[in-house]
Amino acid sequence: MGSFYVLLGPPGAGKGTQAEIIAEKCAIPHISSGNIFRENLQNETELGKKAKKFMDAGELVPDEITINMVKDRLSQPDCKDGALLDGFPRTPAQAEALSEFLEENGHKIEAVPLIYVPSEELISRLSGRWTCKEKGHVYHMKYKPPKNEKICDIDGSELYQREDDKKETVAQRIKVYEDQTAPLISFYREKGNLVRIDGTKAIEGVTEALFRVINCK
Ligand code: ADP
Ligand code: ADP
Distance 119 CA to ligand 2 centre (A): 17
| Per-residue pLDDT, 167 | 87
Q: What are 63-119's pLDDT values in tens digits?
A: 999 999 999 999 999 999 999 999 999 999 999 999 999 999 999 999 999 999 999
Question: What mean pLDDT is predicted for residues 38-58?
Answer: 96
Evaluate if residue 216 carries a pLDDT over 90.
no
Q: How far apart are CA 81 and CA 89, in angstroms?
A: 19
Atom of ligand 1 nearest to the CA of 18: 6
Averaged pLDDT score across all residues of the chain: 96
| Per-residue pLDDT, 1 | 75
Residues belonging to the active site: 15, 90, 129, 162, 173
| Per-residue pLDDT, 123 | 93
| Per-residue pLDDT, 68 | 98
Beta strands across the sheet bearing 30-32? 30-32, 82-86, 3-7, 108-116, 194-198
Distance 38 CA to ligand 2 centre (A): 9
Cis peptide before 118 (omega within 30 of 0): no
| Per-residue pLDDT, 168 | 86
Q: How far apart are CA 217 and CA 214, in angstroms?
A: 9
Distance 177 CA to ligand 2 centre (A): 10
Identify the residues whose C-beta falls under 6 Å from ligand 1: 9, 11-17, 125, 128-129, 138-140, 143-144, 201-203, 206
Q: What are 9-33's pLDDT values in tens digits?
A: 999 999 999 999 999 999 999 999 9
Q: What are 140-175's pLDDT values in tens digits?
A: 999 999 999 999 999 999 999 999 999 889 999 999
